[in-house]
Structure 1
Amino acid sequence: VPRQSKPLSSAHVFTFHRQPEPETLEISRAAEVFQTTLQILKNRARQRHERDITAPDKSYTVFALQYFWTCFTILCVRQNPLWGAANTPLVRWLPAEYEDGEREPKGWNQGRLHNGFQLPSPHEVSKKILRTSSMGKEDVYSHMLVEWGQYIDHDISFTPQSSGSAAFQTGVDCLTTCENVHPCFPIQVKQKHNRRGKSCLPFFRSVAACFLSFGSDIEKSLQRQQMNAITSFMDASVVYGHTPKMESSLRDPSGLNGKLVVNCKFKDHKGRPYLPFVNKHSVLHTLWMREHNRIAEVFKHMNGHWNSETIYQETRKIIGAVHQIITMRDHVPKIIGSKSFEDYIGPYRGYDPTTDPSVSNVFATAAFRFGHATIPQIVRRMNESFQEHEHFPSLRLHHTLFSPWRIVKEGGIEPTLRGVIGTAAKAFSANMLLSDEVTERLVVLNTPQHMDLASLNLQRGRDHAIPGYNEWREFCGLKRIKTLDDFQEVVKDCKVAKKILEIYKHPDNIDVWLGGLVEKFLPGARVGPLFACLIGKQMKALCDGDRFWWEADGVFTQQQRAELSRVSLSRLICDNSDIKQIPLDSFIFRKYPSGFVSCDQIPSINLEAWRDENSPGELKKLSQQIY
Structure 2
Amino acid sequence: MKQPRAGTRSAVRSADYMAQTLRLLQERVHHVHKRSLNATDLLSRDDLEKLAEISGCSAQVALPQCRTTPNLDKYRTALQGTSVCNNINNPRQGASNTPFVCWLPAEYDDGIFLPKGKNQRFNNFLLPLVRQVSNNILSTLDAGVLNDREFTDMLTFFGQWNDHDLTFTPISPSIRSFSNGIDCDESCEQTEPCIPIPIPPGDPRLPTGPDSCIPAFRSAAVCGTGLSAFNFGGEPKREQINALTAFLDLGQVYGSEEKLALSLRDLSNDGGRLRVNTEFRDNGRELLPFSPLQVNMCATRGRVTNDINAREVPCFITGDTRADENIALTSVHTLFLREHNRLARGLKRIKPHWDSETLYQEARKIMGAYTQSFVFRDYLPHIVGDNEMRTRLGRYPGYNPRVNPSISNVFATAAFRFAHLSIQPFLSRLDANYRENNRFPSVLLYKAFFTPWRIVYEGGIDPLLRGLVGRPAKLNTQDHIMVDAVRERLFQFVMILGLDLGSLNMERGRDHGLPGYNAYRKLCSLSQPRNQAELARVLNNADLARRLLQLYGTADNIDVWMGGLSEPFVRGGRVGPLFACLIATQFQRIRQGDRLSSRQFLQG
Same fold (TM over 0.5): yes
Hey, what does 2:274 align to over in structure 1? 260
Equivalents in 2 of 1:425, 1:446: separation in Å?
Answer: 26
TM alignment of 1:398-547, pairs within 5 A: 398-443=446-491, 447-547=495-595
In 2, are the aligned partners of 1:469 and 1:512 still within 8 Å (CA)?
A: yes
Deviation at 1:70, TM superposition (A): 5.1
After superposition, what is the alpha-carbon deviation per residue over 1:541-597, rounded to whole angstroms, capped at 9, x for unaligned?
11111100000xxxxxxxxx47x989xxxxxxxxxxxxxxxxxxxxxxxxxxxxxxx
In 2, are the aligned partners of 1:30 and 1:75 still within 8 Å (CA)?
A: no
Equivalents in 2 of 1:145, 1:219: separation in Å?
Answer: 43
Hey, what does 1:609 align to over in structure 2? none
In structure 1, give the amino acid aligned to 2:174: G
Between stretches 191-200 and 434-443, larger displacement belongs to 191-200
1:274 corresponds, among 281, 287, 291, to 287
Deviation at 1:433, TM superposition (A): 0.6
Hey, what does 1:127 align to over in structure 2? 135
Residue 295 in structure 1 maps to residue 343 in structure 2: yes
What SS is found at the alignment partner of 1:419? helix
Q: Determine what percentage of the aligned residue pairs are the same residue.
A: 41
After superposition, what is the alpha-carbon deviation per residue over 1:204-252, rounded to whole angstroms, capped at 9, x for unaligned?
1111122499999988613221111121211011111112221122111
Hey, what does 1:77 align to over in structure 2? 61
After superposition, what is the alpha-carbon deviation per residue over 1:149-189, rounded to whole angstroms, capped at 9, x for unaligned?
00010011111112332112210110122121000000011
Equivalents in 1 of 2:274, 2:200: separation in Å?
Answer: 50
In 2, are the aligned partners of 1:77 and 1:212 still within 8 Å (CA)?
A: no
In structure 1, give the amino acid aligned to 2:370: V
In structure 1, give the amino acid aligned to 2:145: M
Equivalents in 2 of 1:115, 1:196: separation in Å?
Answer: 28
Residue 117 in structure 1 maps to residue 125 in structure 2: yes
TM alignment of 1:84-233, pairs within 5 A: 84-109=94-119, 112-133=120-141, 134-191=144-201, 193-194=206-207, 198-211=211-224, 221-233=235-247
Deviation at 1:444, TM superposition (A): 6.2
What SS is found at the alignment partner of 2:158? helix
What SS is found at the alignment partner of 1:434? coil
Hey, what does 2:5 align to over in structure 1? 21
In 2, are the aligned partners of 1:76 and 1:211 still within 8 Å (CA)?
A: no
Between stretches 195-204 and 333-342, larger displacement belongs to 195-204
Equivalents in 2 of 1:312, 1:456: separation in Å?
Answer: 38
Q: 1:197 to 1:99 in 2, by over 3 A?
A: closer
In 2, are the aligned partners of 1:78 and 1:212 still within 8 Å (CA)?
A: no
Deviation at 1:87, TM superposition (A): 0.9
In structure 2, give the amino acid aligned to 1:451: L
What SS is found at the alignment partner of 2:490? coil
Deviation at 1:474, TM superposition (A): 0.7
TM alignment of 1:306-317, pairs within 5 A: 306-317=354-365
In 1, are the aligned partners of 2:224 and 2:230 still within 8 Å (CA)?
A: no
In structure 2, give the amino acid aligned to 1:102: I
Between stretches 203-212 and 193-202, larger displacement belongs to 193-202
Q: 1:183 to 1:104 in 2, by over 3 A?
A: same
In structure 1, give the amino acid aligned to 2:275: V
In 2, are the aligned partners of 1:84 and 1:356 still within 8 Å (CA)?
A: yes
In 1, are the aligned partners of 2:230 and 2:236 still within 8 Å (CA)?
A: no
Deviation at 1:540, TM superposition (A): 0.7
What SS is found at the alignment partner of 2:110? coil
In 2, are the aligned partners of 1:430 and 1:491 still within 8 Å (CA)?
A: no
What SS is found at the alignment partner of 1:139? strand
After superposition, what is the alpha-carbon deviation per residue over 1:584-626, rounded to whole angstroms, capped at 9, x for unaligned?
xxxxxxxxxxxxxxxxxxxxxxxxxxxxxxxxxxxxxxxxxxx
Deviation at 1:51, TM superposition (A): 3.9
TM-score (norm 1): 0.80
Hey, what does 1:601 align to over in structure 2? none
Equivalents in 2 of 1:157, 1:61: separation in Å?
Answer: 36
Equivalents in 2 of 1:47, 1:149: separation in Å?
Answer: 49
What SS is found at the alignment partner of 2:240? strand
What SS is found at the alignment partner of 2:149? strand
Q: How many residues align?
A: 535
In 2, are the aligned partners of 1:31 and 1:76 still within 8 Å (CA)?
A: no
> Structure 1: 5+ residue runs without aligned partners?
1-16, 552-560, 567-627
TM-score (norm 2): 0.83
Q: 1:18 to 1:120 in 2, by over 3 A?
A: same
